[in-house]
Each structure stands twice: as C-alpha cells, then as structure tokens.
Structure 1
Amino acid sequence: MRRYVANHSPFARMTRIMVHETGLRASVEQIVAELRVKDSAYYNINPSGRVPYLIREDGVGFEDSDLICSYFDKIAETSIWSIPDNKEGWELRRLAALARSFTDGVSVWFRETMRPEDEQSKSIINHERQRSRRLADLWEKEIGSPLMQGPLNRAQIIMVCGLGLEEWVQGFNWRDGHPKLTSWMDRISGQPSMIATNRSNT
C-alpha cells in the first residue's frame, strides 16, 4: 500500500501514528506529496490534492484520515480507532468530535499563515487563535476523562495531532494556563509512535 502525506498535516499524522500502533509499517509505503503547486504530479493520483491519501494493494484510493485509520484498524485486527457500541462509545465520539474541532481550527490558522503575507487574512488568524484558546480552556477540564487517560484511542490521537501543531504554528501557545493539558501532552508524547511522527522525525 502507498500512503501520501504532508509532513505538517495533523490529519496525515493521525494515519502515521496508526501505522506505527497497528504494526503496519512494513506494509505501507509513505510518500510526501507535493501540495499547492501548479501541475503537481500528485493531482493525477488524487484530484482533490488533499492528504492523507491511501492507495490499497488493489488500486482503490482512500481519502480522509478517519477512513484510512479505520481501515488500518480493521486489517490489523486492532481496536485503537474503533468505537464500542455502548454508552462509553458515545462519550468517545463526543471527545473525538471536540478534539477534531480543535484540530480543524488550528489547521485553518496554520494554512492561512502559509500564504504569502500580503494574502493572509488577519481576521481568520485572530478568529482561529481565539477559538483555540476557548477550546484549550475546555480541554483543561475534559483531559481528565478516563477515556483520555486510558488505552490509546481515536480521541487521544486526534488531540495529540492538534496540540502538536505547536511545532508548526507561530503564536500557538496553548500551554499557557493549561497545566493539566500540558502534563497530558508531555506524557503521551513520550510514546514511540508519537516520537516517530513528531516534527523532528519527519
């Protein structure tokens, strides 16, 4: 299988973490896609130009981190990304949605800063900065959930990838005033799959 990524993408990082956690590294080739470039060869592979993108052994393409992570979970016969069909499953969905909202917003902020300075929208940057602060305040309370403290799951992976954008986004100082969230991130970042997929190892 071939998996197309961008080193800075938190959504691609989710799939990279899953490759490590599911033991599929030997089965999945990683290719860094050339994005936001006119006539990039990658557009012939995935016309949307988005990452992550997985091409299965049968040639079928999968776009979207949730789809790809679910597929890895299935073929590896693990339950890292899966959601149980019970009350705990709904709580996991809720936390994963909050983590996705956080990560989506910071990603919009980051993409805006990647534009030429005279094309950047200060209002978008300020809006997403404020959103990230509000959500960091919320996560300072939510991070104590047993689902965020127990075995690795989709909510934890999504949140790590959102918080990890601090390595890429100037001014994304989520640690200020959030000691519980900081402690959680520092602890989980020491796991082998997190170390292998952080900025210094991309």
Structure 2
Amino acid sequence: MILPIVAYGDPVLRKKCKEIPKGYPKLEELLEGMWETMYNAKGVGLAAPQVGVPLRLFLVDTTPFADDEELSSDEQKQLNGFKKVFINAKIEEEVGEEWAFNEGCLSIPDVREDVKRKDTITISYVDENFKAHKETFDGLIARVVQHEYDHIEGILFTDKLSPLKKRMLKGRLNNISKGKIHVDYRMRFPNMKKGR
C-alpha cells in the first residue's frame, strides 16, 4: 500500500526515533508499504519517520544511481542491486574526505542542495529478519545511508546547509509545509489549510 510521505515541517521528522523490538507487530506490512511508497515516488531511500512512523528503520535501493555514466563500471556494479533494510542502525564511524553531493529528499520536494559528508562509514544494524550486521560503505552508498540515518536521528539534509542557504530556502520550505507545491506522489502536509 502506498503511504503518504510526510512533508517538511511535520514534528515527526524532528523526532529521534525509537528502536524496534524483535517481533514488532506488522513490521512486514510496514516494510512492504515503505518499498512501494519509495518506488512510487522514485526515491533511492526512505525512512520510517517519512511515513509518519517514529521508528529506527530505513531502506535503501541505490540501483537508479547505477545508470550514471560519469561513474566507473566498478561503482555502477556496486550501486546496481544494492537493496537493504536497516533496523536499529547505529553509525559507528565516519571517516575520509568530506565531499559535496547534490542531495534531495522526498519530504522536501523540489529542493536540492550540495551537502558535505564524509566518504566512508561503518554501521551496525539488524535486517528485516533481525540478523545483526556490521558493514563499511563508501561513496554514494555511504551517502544514501547517511542521509537516511539522519532521518531516524531527527536530522534533515537542510540542517547541514550554511545559515545563508537556510535563509534563502526559508520561503520555499514554508510553502512545502503548507502544501503549496506540486508533487506526483501522495504527501501529508502539516500546515496545509483545510478546504484547499
């Protein structure tokens, strides 16, 4: 089932999310809904708070990035078919050079900005079967995982911008929270006037 994506300004996007206990009811249903919602919105990642659920859960599928001709064939191979569920994730380490990449977010449509992040991360998490993993990712995969991980910490990519950039975006962000934007996927706007 396609779920509405929560827009910028909703308090759920600012919550530090709760861990998911083993045996959490309807987890499979939630995951199915999140995958369907993410693909419908043409995203490469989606976190539970983005569908209004303040849990430490996000999913990633970097396959759409594999078509980028500027990437090496090794990078394309790495991105193609990288599809994972991250539950109760914790970034253990972020290392390497900081590099800028133009990021966007399904909760903040039509806003894209360069965000600097470290190149390599080590993250521990459990998958949808509650099997424990500790893995190291770099490049674009690390970037997508960092972006989604920020969501479960109550952080948005716009928080990482300079004060000047934030001021310049303020009006656009307010319009998003009021629903004054056209999107081709279902959204829930926190400050939308009733009857519009």
Query: What is the TM-score when the length of structure 2 is the normalising length?
Result: 0.30
> Higher helix proportion, which one?
1
> Higher strand proportion, which one?
2
Q: Taking CA–CA contacts closer than 8 Å with sequence separation of 6 or more, which of the two structures ends up with the larger relative contact order?
A: 2
